[in-house]
Each structure stands twice: as C-alpha cells, then as structure tokens.
Amino acid sequence: MITNISEYLKSKGVKPTYQRIKILEYLVKNKNNPSVDTIYTYLKNEIPSLSRTSVYNTLALFKKKKINTSIKFENSFKTNLSHNSHFKCEKCNTVIDFNITQSKINLKELQGYEIKQTHIYFHGVCKNCKVN
C-alpha cells in the first residue's frame, strides 16, 4: 500500500507534480480500473488546467516506471500489479481484479517458453446485476 504518494513517485524516479500526485492518488483510492476519461472527469474540477492528454501522458509515464499497468481490453489503468486476471460485467461495466496463478493453468503448449506476464480476461454478468 502506498502511504506517501509524493515520496513513492520520487522513489520511482518521477517528479511529483500536483497533477501526477492527484492522478496516482485517484488510482490508489479508487480500485475501479478507470479509463483516461474517468480520471479526467473526476479531477477536472479540482485541476482546471488538466487535459485528457495530460492524464494519458501521466499514465503512460507511470506504466513505463512500473507504477501502474493498463488493462488491454478496456483501455483502463490500475496500480495493483499483483492481480493478473479481470472480469468485466457487460451490464454495469464494472471491472474486478482477481488472481490466477500459472500453476493452475495447463500450459503444455508453452513448455520451454519464458513467461513474463499472464493476463486473463473474463466477460459476463456480475453477481449484483444477475440478481436484478
């Protein structure tokens, strides 16, 4: 868990500007795998000079510095790099993270390969929407 965002950014070699701090603060507090537009919409009143391009560029910098990652199927970003699997509800558009380890998956076809990352994506209806 990140407790001091400014110090955390410095430790990753990122200058802790106000915009960068607020964007990372949003990612840390809102475990919602947001898009650039979601972050921009949330922060635009607090930071009038903020642009979508600034958000995108900040997230790209964070990704380069391994502060966050993007979820390829959703154009979303997240800071919890330990979760490698995602479920998206097709009704409410919620994206949740969960872990699946490589040991639980049959990877015979990849024997001898060096696997550096694993990402698994599920689409369907979440339990909340299924009830309604």
- Helix axis angle for 18-29 and 52-64, nearest 10°, is 70
More confident residue, 42 or 84: 42
The rounded distance, in Å, linking the Cα atoms of 9 and 12 is 5
Structure tokens at 17: 């500007």
Provide, rounded to the nearest whole percent, the portion of the chain with pLDDT above 90. Answer: 36
Give the residue range(s) of CATH 1.10.10.10 domains in the chain: 5-67
CB-CB contact of 118 with 126 (8 Å): no
The rounded distance, in Å, linking the Cα atoms of 124 and 50 is 34
pLDDT of residue 3: 84
Structure tokens at 106: 């049959």
Domain 85-131 grouped into CATH 3.30.70: no
Domain 5-67 grouped into CATH 2.120.10.30: no
Question: What is the value of pTM for the model shown?
Answer: 0.60
pLDDT of residue 105: 63
More confident residue, 132 or 18: 18
The rounded distance, in Å, linking the Cα atoms of 39 and 43 is 6
What value does the mean pLDDT take over residues 5-14? 94
pLDDT for 57 beyond 80: yes
Residues in the chain: 132
Q: 21, 1, 15, 119: which is closest to 69 by C-alpha?
A: 119
